Structure 1
């Protein structure tokens, strides 16, 4: 009886997962279509959004991908600054410091590297980095190809007059995280829905907030 029940639900469950996975992959593909071009621009800065490190303090594959995307933009666009943002939001390890160490391995000089170690989420990644971005003609936000568009929306909401200066650059999820494609995409859908339904409707929901300044 149990085997029959399992067989009955196996095909619909498998079909649902394949459908969700396909939609998630399409979402990431769509997100990658509006990435910035590679021509040099100068007088620009790159903001790399944080992600939790592994529990042992080692670099998470998502952190690696985001830093690599940021470093590529920094080099291709001849930028002056690379800002890595993220506090110890989910474990005892400061995200920005772990990412900065990897950026140094990729030959980013210390005088071009800024460690923003107060932000606890994407909104604060933007808020806490604003002082480091204000004097640049171009601002590049680096993350995975879906999350980066949320980070740009947040920057545009916090600083509407800067929005025409902001471009996005992103990387694809590593193969080691392919099983997380659906959860990550669902989280972005949830965040998008929450922002429209709650935060964007109130003036306080668009005000920059950084723990270090409050």
Structure 2
């Protein structure tokens, strides 16, 4: 087999692997809870610039489309992330992008104290107590990590987790193998059950 052919096959396998792993993470620790009210938690990414960076812009888009996915009434979008070092917070930068660029006019709440994923979850819990369904929007591995943290902190609220629209086939395809490798590293602190289990609800 020629070297070029081997490289093409290896590249195709890497892309397929990246797609599959991100798909699997997006379907882990979620159920099919039903209800009238949703909360979509959008997790921030370090953002020293004065405007939302590319990763945060994508996370906002994923959060907004997650809010619109099921047509639930009373959906709130919670932007979570603390200071970026320039006076603004990740939460505020994401909210500004959602409103000014994406023209989102739904309910927006800010959690602007967190500096870690664990703190993201700890600090949004009071904003989740009265909703029927919870979606967490980020890159699939990061969102899974956050769902696992919610399950550790508040198993009762974790029962309300459903899938966010943060994985789509063909989106970020070329970098999904890198995202998969990075995700495996970031998820190393989770248990095997947390990385693989899927919730089920009636």
TM range (shorter): 0.7 to 0.9
| Superimposed CA distance per residue, residues 77-126 of structure 1 (whole angstroms, 9 cap, x where no aligned partner) | 2333211001135x53521111000121334447x211111111222111
Structure 1 residues without counterparts, runs of 5 or longer: 1-11, 201-214
Residue number among 59, 62, 70 corresponding to 2:63 in the alignment: 70
TM-score, normalization by structure 1: 0.69
Other-structure match for 1:28 = 22
Cα pair 1:48 1:143 within 8 Å, conserved:
yes
What is the rounded CA distance, in whole Å, between the counterparts of 2:148 and 2:59 in structure 1? 18
For structure 2, the 5+ residue unaligned runs are 1-5, 195-202
RMSD (Å), alpha carbons: 3.5
Greater relative CO (CA pairs within 8 A, separation 6+)? 2
Higher-Rg member (1/2): 1
Which of 94, 101, 106 is the matching residue for 1:99?
A: 94
Please tell me whether the aligned partners of residues 80 and 112 of structure 2 are also in contact (alpha carbons under 8 angstroms): yes
CA distance 1:176–1:61, change in 2 (3 Å): farther
- Length-normalised TM-score, structure 2: 0.72
Show the 5 A alignment for 1:1-214.
20-32=14-26, 41-53=35-47, 55-75=48-68, 76-88=71-83, 91-92=85-86, 93-105=88-100, 106-109=102-105, 112-172=107-167, 180-196=175-191
Tell me the CA shift for residue 196 of structure 1.
3.0
Paired residue secondary structure (2:113):
coil
Are the equivalent residues in 2 in contact too, given 1:41–1:78 (CA < 8 A)?
Answer: no
- Asked if structure 2 preserves the Cα contact closer than 8 Å seen for 1:143 and 1:170, the reply is no
Deviation of residue 69 (structure 1)?
2.0
Return closer, same or farther for 1:193/1:113 CA change in 2, 3 Å cut-off: same
Cα deviation code 1:6-60 (max 9, x no counterpart): xxxxxx99987776554223212333457888xx94222111111123x432322
Equivalent-residue separation in structure 1 for 2:31 and 2:95 (angstroms): 23
Q: Distance in 2 between matches of 1:14 and 1:193?
A: 30
* Structure-1 separation of matches of 2:121 and 2:159: 16
Kindly tell me the number of residue pairs found equivalent between the two proteins: 186
Would you tell me which structure has more helix in proportion to its own residues?
1
